[in-house]
Amino acid sequence: MLKLSHVSVRFGQRQAVDDVSFTIENGEILALLGPSGSGKSTLLRVIAGLTPSEGQVVLAGRDITTVPTHRRGVGLMFQDHALFPHLDVGGNVAFGLSGAGKQERVDELLELVGLAGAAKRKINTLSGGEQQRVALARALAPEPKLLMLDEPLGQLDRQLRDRLVIELRELFKRLGTTVLAVTHDHDEAFALADRAAIMSRGKLLQSGTADQLKAAPVDEFVADFLGATASVRRWPQ
């Protein structure tokens, strides 16, 4: 379980994240949803230990607020995949792994993401969707307690995104992976996640299932962002 309590981040005079608190249960997929600049990616960096903050971050019952990034037990997958072009597919997936059984783990993960037998392929020979799968395999390799995805499908065309988002959800549910995914696309968020938490200007405005959010948007911003037609009324957060 991930629990954030009163997390805030300020860059100079700008409040990037403003007193955000939420919980993700084990095996749950939560989407952080909002427009560009709302603080979503900054929040991921806080959880990963890449950006200092006020407040508390607890993962699997352990306070990791001041724990170094490499000891937090989180995996992070970026929008641009951040693959190493000088390494082949297997080398990218194995990066950071050590000890006996590394090759077996690589083979297992490549089969899991639909790239069985691709370990020796060069990164520049892969399609965008294949690169996304390699990045996902690499993020899953160390068996993180929490997997965080930052606009994972943002660079893919709509048809491929619509297909992959379903595959990702099925994979995460099969593995029981706890996931926090950032996106600005509410269709993608609701297809992937169990719940969505909507952010704007650093604040978490409302969280809930797709039906809850669309039926009872907490304010005009949420209603407009989701294209909701229901009248605005307050929903328990």
Q: What is the pLDDT of residue 228?
A: 63
- The per-residue pLDDT of the chain, averaged, comes to 91
114 contact partners, CB below 8 Å, separation of at least 6: 133, 167
Give CA–CA dist 31/150, Å, rounded.
10
Helix axes 158-175, 128-140, angle to 10 degrees: 20
Give CA–CA dist 203/200, Å, rounded.
5
Q: What is the pLDDT of residue 234?
A: 46
Please name each of the domains of the chain with its CATH number: 1-73+146-237 (3.40.50.300), 84-143 (no CATH)
Counting as low any pLDDT under 50, the low residues of the chain are 230-231, 234-237
Q: Is pTM beyond 0.85 here? A: yes
Q: What is the pLDDT of residue 227?
A: 85
